[in-house]
Chain A
Amino acid sequence: MSTTERDGASPGDLLPGALEGVRVVELASEFGAFAGKLLADLGADVVLVEPPGGHPTRRFAPFADDVEDPERSLYFWHYNTSKRAVVVDLDTPAGARDLRRLVAEADVVVEAEAPGRLAHLGLDHADLRADHPELVWVAITPFGRDNPRAGEPATDLTVLAGGGPVWSCGYDDHTLPPVRGGGNQGLHTACLWATMGALTALLAREVTGRGQLVDVSMHAAANVTTEAATYEWLVAGQTVQRQTARHAAVSPTMNTDALCADGRQVNTGVPPRSADEFRGVVEWLDEIGDRSAFPDVALLEIGVERGGVQIHEIFADAEAMAVFGAGREAIQFIAERVSAYDFFVGAQSRGLPCGIIYAPDEVLSDPHFVARGFPVTVHHGGIGRDVTHPGAPFAMPRSPWRIRRPAPRVGEHQDEIFGPAPPDPR
């Protein structure tokens, strides 16, 4: 993309990432893998430590060509880009020695082991930081390491249910269950905070010379990721209620989705209120050739003439209420007559915030994402083909975000990291 050119820096591929030189040991896990990916794609050297045979997430669907194989899990491929991998059996003395060797060279450890497991093996942060006080140790657990609920079993679903997000998501019809949003967002939320904690601890270390423990609670992360649901309660003692595809609210609000002519949906945002917006809607009706078919064009024109409608007028002034209602109707009317994409671009180009509701895979061919270089191609040698992955969340021209290599095969970097001899004769 053009940000590098704009900035006058060299092409991104040749530049090291922002975390160049940061060495990370990640104990493979379901809950912490995304944190390792964030660090690795930002340029850290992340060594993924897996048990013999590879981590169980290698057996998570979907698989490339639907062939179930630990080297073909697309789940694993996504969450482990840019990492190197070794096999270490932490339950053996030799494995424990190998881990100590790796950690001795590391700046950061990322782990999501069940609370107590590493302490039992003598491999907890206290054991390994004793000789290595500059080490930053990031622990991601469902409730925090020392929490009264620390022993409870949890998954993404139960974390999001108990932590608040699920209460706010679902449909107007409350006989339907509330909904967990898709895509492992409980894990993602915790891993973002874990990464913020790791980077903060690295910056603090520049001043203090010392590392520390970063204790991340997935449950707490979900709890502080619910926007008004929390502060409506904290501040006013009020409880929000879920609504279809829009914010949960204390009092019901108008729907904001519309079905377009091609059967796809859009989020219509806020209806027109300013004179320019009403003018734009009238022009839009003309453009699609249906001005005469919309019964309330006159009200839209009043909206232009009166200089728009103010929020407080909508509930107090009959004309304003009628004009505002006509604007809402016009938006729905237009939506039913054009494709979702044309509605999205047509609304936005008239200054009306609106969003097309894409399936996750559909963003990859959208002109915005293509222009920003969001889809990135990674060569997967294991199956001998190029695979398109989601790319950078931001343009960072002097230290670009980059997928440096595809997810590693089981033990792919064993020799490179431990040397050609077996780590221990056993």
Chain B
Amino acid sequence: MASSSALSHLRICDFTGQLAGAGATKFLAAMGAQVIRIEDPVRQGRWDILRGMPPYIDERRGVDLSGAFNNHNVEKLGVTINLRTEAGRDLVRRLIAISDVVSENFAAGVLARMGFPYEEMTRIRPDIIYVSNSGFGAEGPYRRFKTWGPIVQAVSGLTFSSGLPGLGPAGWGYSYMDHHGGNVMAIAILAALLHRSRTGEGQWVDMSCTDAGAWLDGPAMLDFTVNGRSLRREGMPNSNRSQSPPMAPHGIYPAAGDDRWVAVACRDDADWTALAKVVGEPWAAGDRFATLEGRLAGEDALDEALGAWTRRYDRDEVAARLRGAGVPASIVATPEDRIEHDPGTSAWGLWPTVHHTEIGDVRVDGIPLHLSETDWHIEQGAPCLGEHNDLVFGEILGLSPDEIDELRSEGAI
């Protein structure tokens, strides 16, 4: 199977890492862009903390064996360049000269200090698109502050808005903002490319990941700016319920077994009537909960009664019976449930197997959209450290094997 042709006319000079940056260029690579990921040979690429981190497929350890790093860097070319050396900086200049985009998610100002401020990039290639993604952006009072996903989530309001009343924030059990930040970064790159197509202009897009997170609860924000009502108030947040729009029942209910749960949402009275019929008990059939108003007024009692019913049954049975009646319902899926036993993901081809030079064959996250003409393609695992030095410096930059050996011996690559 050939690689995607969607973005095969584009080349990315890529300094990103972790997930907030690497996730952006993974998408571009899956869509066919030539992504050349540059890593530091001196630190063995460990600026990206995922290099060498678990999980591992077997007992082997090392910078080339991380399943996490592999997941976020499929379909990319990997080179090592030592930016402390003039020869290394010259290689980067040559790569920028033939690239459409320079992407990075270092702390603000780091790439400039390594010799590549935006102005320098434009001297090399006037229409270069430079997209930087740092915790608080390149400008502003917090530009020197350090972040990772949970900190971005805390400051942007996302941690607070996930939780049950009286229990404090539950937050996010993963770096949601690394995924989301990577996606916003990809949008910035793609939009800047379309702007360049129309005008011939490149530009520096300065992304603050925290700003991109603060964008994610607009209705709550407007409730404050228009009505003066903060989400920090008695009984809130209560994010398993639905306030906008109000729905009831709407929650996560216990099912039979240990730590087994089922999510149920009644969007309207029709859903409620259907649910009440499936439940078939007097509390559900009566007038008390027949209207949304009644269900909201007695929501605690409603949740308790519904939970007492769901608890008696297997989670799959509850979800299937409710869905069969047209009511949105789902098990709270474990990783095994959704990866191994879900036709929704397997039919999508969501877990492609890649071949990684050292790890071997392993499955990774696929892409949740399909393009009918130029679909994504994920088959090649993440690059080992410097795996494509000969290919990139030789075939793409046109250096001779002797010149590459020279760079190697002087510690430039």
Contact = CB atoms under 8 A, between A and B. Distances in A.
Nearest to B8: A207
A104 interface: no
**B contact residues, range:** 35 or more
Nearest to A140: B369
Contacts of B214: 360, 363, 369, 374, 390
A290 B174 CA distance: 35
Contacts of B41: none
Interface stretch (B90-98, B276-284, B325-333, B390-398): B325-333
Interface in A347-376: 348, 351, 353-364, 366-369, 371-372, 374-375
Closest CB pairs A-B (n = 7): A235-B67, A168-B173, A355-B154, A361-B224, A78-B218, A360-B157, A220-B368
A91 to B, nearest CB: 19
Given A62-B222, A169-B170, A182 B159 contact: no
Given A200-B6, A244-B171, A269-B148, 20 more contacts: A66-B227, A149-B344, A155-B242, A158-B265, A166-B332, A168-B172, A193-B367, A201-B371, A221-B369, A228-B174, A233-B336, A234-B364, A348-B146, A354-B151, A362-B157, A369-B214, A394-B188, A397-B203, A398-B201, A399-B191
Interface in A215-233: 215-221, 223-233
Nearest to A201: B371
Nearest to A358: B157
B371 A213 contact: yes
Contacts of B252: 157, 161, 166, 177-180
Contacts of A220: 344-345, 348, 350, 366, 368-369
Contacts of B342: 162
A349 to B, nearest CB: 8
Contact of A162 (B184, B245, B330, B348): B330
Contact of A236 (B67, B162, B229): B67
A82 interface: no
Contact of A242 (B173, B225, B232, B265): B173
B211 A265 contact: no
Interface stretch (A15-23, A297-305, A324-332, A409-417): A15-23
Interface in A146-200: 147-149, 152-155, 157-171, 174, 176-183, 185, 188-190, 192-197, 199-200
Contact of B336 (A20, A176, A239, A392): A239
A353 B225 CA distance: 30
B232 A236 contact: no
A143, A159, A177, A206: most-surrounded residue (chain B CB, <10 A): A177
Interface string A58-90: 011110111000000011011100000000000
A168 B148 CA distance: 18
Contacts of A29: none
Contacts of A363: 155-157, 214
Given A22-B194, A235-B362, A148 B347 contact: yes
B212 interface: yes
Contacts of B332: 161-162, 166-167, 178
Contacts of A388: 221, 225
B309 interface: no
Interface in B60-75: 67-68, 70-71
A257 interface: yes
Contact of B140 (A227, A372, A387): A372
15 contacts: A60-B245, A65-B226, A74-B219, A74-B226, A157-B240, A157-B263, A165-B173, A166-B263, A168-B174, A170-B173, A224-B367, A231-B67, A234-B67, A361-B157, A389-B225
Nearest to B339: A233
Contact of B159 (A65, A236, A245): A245
B6 A238 contact: no
A297 B241 CA distance: 46
Contact of B348 (A147, A348, A354, A395): A147
Contacts of B250: 157
A28 interface: no
A2 interface: yes
B331 to A, nearest CB: 7
Contacts of A202: 194
Contact of B369 (A164, A215, A348, A358): A215
Given A242-B173, A372-B139, A394 B205 contact: yes
Contacts of A166: 252, 261, 263, 332
B222 A74 contact: yes
A387 B168 contact: no
A344 B237 CA distance: 22
B161 to A, nearest CB: 4
Contacts of B313: none
A372 B225 CA distance: 18
A219 to B, nearest CB: 5
B298 interface: no
Nearest to A352: B146
Interface string A109-145: 0000000000000000000000000000000000110
A154 B208 CA distance: 32
Interface stretch (B51-59, B78-86, B403-411): B51-59
A256 B153 CA distance: 13
A100 interface: no
B10 interface: yes
Interface in B230-251: 230-232, 237, 239-240, 242-247, 250-251
A221 to B, nearest CB: 4
Most buried by A among B139, B230, B369: B369
Contacts of B223: 62, 74, 361
Which of A3, A66, A248 has the largest count of B CB atoms less than 10 A from its CB? A3
B246 to A, nearest CB: 6
Contacts of A168: 172-174
Contact of B220 (A161, A183, A230): A183
B383 to A, nearest CB: 17
Given A232-B55, A361-B230, A181 B222 contact: no
